[in-house]
Amino acid sequence: MVRTVRPLLCAAALLFTGCSSGDPTGANGLRVLFVGNSLTYTNDLPAMVATFAESEELAFGYKTIAFPNYALQDHWYHSDARSELSEGNWDFVVMQQGPSSLPENQESLRFWAAKFADEARLYGTEPALYMVWPADVNSATFPAVVDSYTLAADAVAGLLLPAGAAWLAAWNLDASLPLYGPDGFHPSETGTYLAALAVFAGLTGSSPVGLPSTLELPAGGLTIPASRARLLQDATASVLSGP
């Protein structure tokens, strides 16, 4: 379920938490809890999403709970994600773990996403699945990653945020795009920008086309060349519009 965000005269103050916690802002706007691992916090994807919201004059409050190598099962038992959900401050919980391409990992993603979805809905929060991507050396498993997150979102009747599919669509337009970072798994800034487009557009129902290519983030400024940004936006829009 996508909720309409009411435009305000100015965007609400945004909370930048990295892997820590704090109080959300965004009253009368959209409030999002991000639960994941380094694929969420590398290059601060939530901050990029918040900056897109600010550019659209949408109030957006968020918190990030993300730790290295965490799966949803780890968050269920070992982090404060469930405690945050119990506060009832959130419109969406955006869940992410690793690529989850192997059958046992697909099963784990569906099982723990369902546990979190049930918990979230007790407090009026809707679940969303942030689809990621495999390591470059495992690129042949990309279809399994897409299927895994799609099935998990279907299983919990949640929102699918198809960042991984947007990566594939962008490469179909330009195979030279540097979406991976140096380790061939975590995203480059361009890869995170593309993922943030998919997350923002999915959460808000807004078009990614026309979003800014220059962003002011907590760690500093980011500029994607305008022509490349438009290609990434078009790729995201094509995925979100369906076949």
d(CA 235, CA 35) in angstroms, rounded, equals 25
Angle, helices 189-204 vs 226-240, to 10°: value is 40
Does pLDDT of 3 surpass 70? no
Does pLDDT of 31 surpass 70? yes
**Max CA separation in the chain (angstroms):** 48
SS3 144: helix
- What does the DSSP 8-state code read for residue 126? E
Under the banding of pLDDT at 50, 70 and 90, the label for residue 28 is low
Does pLDDT of 142 surpass 70? yes
pLDDT for res 130: 98
User: How does the average pLDDT of the chain come out, rounded?
Assistant: 89
